[in-house]
Amino acid sequence: MAEQTLTRIEISKEYLNFSAGHFTIFSATERENLHGHNFHVRCAVTAAIGPNGLAFDYVDLKRVLKALCDTFDERLLLPELSPFLRLERQEGQVVVLFAEQRMTFLERDVLLLPIRNVTIEELAPLLLARLRDRPELAGMGFHAIELGVSSGAGQWAVATWESA
Ligand SMILES: Nc1nc2c(c(=O)[nH]1)N=C([C@H](O)[C@H](O)COP(=O)(O)OP(=O)(O)OP(=O)(O)O)CN2
């Protein structure tokens, strides 16, 4: 098999962001107040450079990353797998029970996520898994993917995947 030259293409665009509400849960009784961030997403893909000097069209990757960001934008993000939170859907509303507190939101304003806490270290692997599930990127022969999520300048969590 001809020797492959690998490259690592990094995508870090200002428009790869989503504005979302959340609160970080620290224990069964301690959490932050509800607030929001402008979260940012960045991605790096390792792939082989083809015979015509192209690894893959990174425009396809940027489109998928933007679409993923858009699904989280302008929502209150709630963790479905938190050991300390109970979520109930009632007549078009989502009821959030934490310790002795009860919060109610309209379903249209919230996004329930299969994670344990709305932290950057939980959001990064979730977004990476959803990126890998996207059919637009199937068959692109990626060797590795790194996906970072930031809740503010200078603080990132990065999730990684490598092909077997
Ligand atoms: N390990 C983690 N710790 C914390 C997370 C997290 O995702 N993972 N998140 C938070 C909260 O989101 C908190 O609201 C972050 O606040 P802060 O760091 O102050 O965000 P800023 O962008 O305002 O940062 P500045 O340094 O103040 O500019 C807490 N912990």
Q: What are the DSSP E strand ranges found in 5-154?
A: 6-11, 17-22, 35-48, 75-79, 85-90, 93-98, 101-106, 110-113, 142-152
Pocket probe mutation, ligand 1, options 23, 24, 72, max atoms within 8 Å of Cβ: 24
* 3-state helix, strand and coil shares in percent for the chain, rounded to the nearest 5: 20, 45, 35
Q: Which domain holds residue 93?
A: 6-162
Instruction: Note the pTM of the prediction, 2 decimals.
Output: 0.96
* CATH number, domain with residue 143: 3.30.479.10
pLDDT value for 3: 78
Instruction: For residue 78, give the nearest of 42, 37, 119, 38 by alpha carbon.
Output: 119
| Structure token pair of residue 15 | 């428009």
| Structure token pair of residue 93 | 């509303």
> Does residue 71 form part of some domain?
yes
- Distance, in Å, from the CA atom of 106 to the CA atom of 95, rounded to the nearest integer, reads 9
| Structure token pair of residue 30 | 């301690």
Indicate if ligand 1 lies below 6 Å from the C-beta of 151. Answer: yes
Indicate if ligand 1 lies below 6 Å from the C-beta of 116. Answer: no
> Does residue 42 form part of some domain?
yes
> Does residue 114 form part of some domain?
yes
pLDDT value for 139: 85
pLDDT value for 1: 60
> Does residue 49 form part of some domain?
yes
> Does residue 50 form part of some domain?
yes
Using the mean position of ligand 1's atoms as its centre, give its distance from the Cα of residue 22 in Å: 11
Domain total in the chain: 1
Q: Give pLDDT tens digits along the chain (164 positions).
A: 667 899 999 999 999 999 999 999 999 999 999 999 999 999 999 999 999 999 999 999 999 999 999 999 999 999 999 999 999 999 999 999 999 999 999 999 999 999 999 999 999 999 999 999 999 999 899 999 999 999 999 999 999 999 98
pLDDT value for 2: 67
